[in-house]
Amino acid sequence: MSVELKNLEKIIEEKITKARTLDELNAIRVEVFGKKGLITAHLKSLADLPEKDRKEKGKKINDLKNIVNSLLQNKNKNLSDTEITKKLQKEEIDITLTTRPYDQGKLNPITQTIAEVSTIFQKMGFETALGPDIEDDYHNFTALNIPPEHPARQLHDTFYLKGEKNKLLRTHTSPVQIRTLEKKKPPLKIIAPGRTYRADSDMTHTPMFHQIEGLYLDKNVNMGHLKGCIMDFCREFFEIDNLPVRFRPSFFPFTEPSAEIDIGCFKDKSQIKIGDGGSWLEIMGCGMVHDKVLKHCKVDTKKYQGFAFGVGVERLAMLKYGISDLRSFFDSDIKWLNNFGFSIFENIEKI
């Protein structure tokens, strides 16, 4: 015979309280509500009761069902929570393990120098233009008034691409002048930073190096403008107000007249220092753009003329930051970089 209904609540509650796992709780659910369950037995017995008793008992069973259901639900939640906690405890991660060593890099002084030079020229209204590292003969030489057989071609120690008769690694950034003029009409003011290549390697040469080219074309641009622009640049870049800047006559096929620019320097113990000290250091080439170059680019030379300049980035960086070996820029030595490199934040402050 089944357990009396009035005792059932207490019995079931005790069972539920004692359950330790979700499996045990499930077994209790079956024991109560299953086919031969404790409550099911009472439900079945309803059929044999007279109408009025049936109603009364039916209500009691229903109330009990609700109570048991909510007890099961609460216990289920409790057990699930503790089971999850147990699982998490088992899977605990040991955060006391030491991390792997982490090297933080810095900006190469080349990157820093290009950013500094670009900023100075941008303030003067120059826009940045870029050209390809793989050039053709026409843009690297011919259009710049360096025809085949011109001795300047030998001086450039050019890397030619295997199997591509006409392709080479640009020996200077000057071809960006030509590429810009093919797309844009004057007036224009551009600087073109980038990699350049020559088959040369020793203490003072690397096969890959960097230059920044400048070009300014407009009506009535003269050598005075060139001189003012370059003097302002040198003084701002080296952060020396009275830095002596000298223009020395020179030759480049793509400018006429051409000049080389020297800045003042002096020897401090065995180090070369930039400033007013009676000696001179060559830092860049420049000149008024040759008519032949402008004509190659279909510029009306009666209307427009201007100046161009080209500067080696490594040289600027070595002089400003006291770096003595050119090759060290490209050694990828993290210790060297930590010493001579720049943090991104320093750079942002400067700009």
The rounded distance, in Å, linking the Cα atoms of 178 and 144 is 8
The rounded distance, in Å, linking the Cα atoms of 223 and 282 is 19
Which residue's CB is nearer to ligand DAH, number 110 or number 337?
A: 110
Least distance to ligand DAH, CB of residue 276, Å: 25
Least distance to ligand DAH, CB of residue 174, Å: 4
Which residue's CB is nearer to ligand DAH, number 131 or number 285?
A: 285
Least distance to ligand DAH, CB of residue 109, Å: 20
**C-alpha dist (Å) from residue 177 to 66, 141, 203, 288, 296:** 88, 12, 30, 13, 11
Which residue's CB is nearer to ligand DAH, number 233 or number 252?
A: 252
Task: Take residue 219 and report the two structure tokens written for it.
Answer: 């009506």
Least distance to ligand DAH, CB of residue 225, Å: 14
Which residue's CB is nearer to ligand DAH, number 25 or number 110?
A: 110
154 bridge partner residues: none
Which residue's CB is nearer to ligand DAH, number 158 or number 255?
A: 255
- The residue number with the shortest CB distance to ligand DAH is 310
Is residue 109 within 8 Å of residue 342, measured between CB atoms?
yes
64 bridge partner residues: none
Three-state secondary-structure class, residue 37: coil
The rounded distance, in Å, linking the Cα atoms of 259 and 251 is 7
Three-state secondary-structure class, residue 101: coil
Least distance to ligand DAH, CB of residue 331, Å: 24
Which residue's CB is nearer to ligand DAH, number 252 or number 340?
A: 252
Q: CB burial class (10 A; 0-12, 13-18, 19+) of residue 260?
A: middle
Neighbours of 163 (CB within 10 A): 6
Phi then psi for residue 262, to 5 deg, are -115, 145
Least distance to ligand DAH, CB of residue 192, Å: 10
Q: Are strands 127-128 and 188-197 parallel, antiparallel or unpaired?
A: parallel
Which residue's CB is nearer to ligand DAH, number 230 or number 337?
A: 230
Least distance to ligand DAH, CB of residue 258, Å: 6
Q: Which of 247, 187, 258 is nearest to 220 (CA)?
A: 187
Phi then psi for residue 309, to 5 deg, are -150, 160
Which amino acid is located at 258 in the chain? S
Which residue's CB is nearer to ligand DAH, number 309 or number 340?
A: 309
Which residue's CB is nearer to ligand DAH, number 8 or number 284?
A: 284
Which residue's CB is nearer to ligand DAH, number 8 or number 191?
A: 191
User: Cα–Cα–Cα angle for 343, 344, 349, nearest 5°?
Assistant: 100
Least distance to ligand DAH, CB of residue 196, Å: 7
Neighbours of 340 (CB within 10 A): 18
Least distance to ligand DAH, CB of residue 298, Å: 19
Tokens 């209307």, located at residue:
303
Least distance to ligand DAH, CB of residue 161, Å: 20
Q: Which of 263, 305, 295 is nearest to 280 (CA)?
A: 263
| Contact set with ligand DAH (CB under 6 A) | 172, 174, 213, 252, 255, 285-287, 308-310
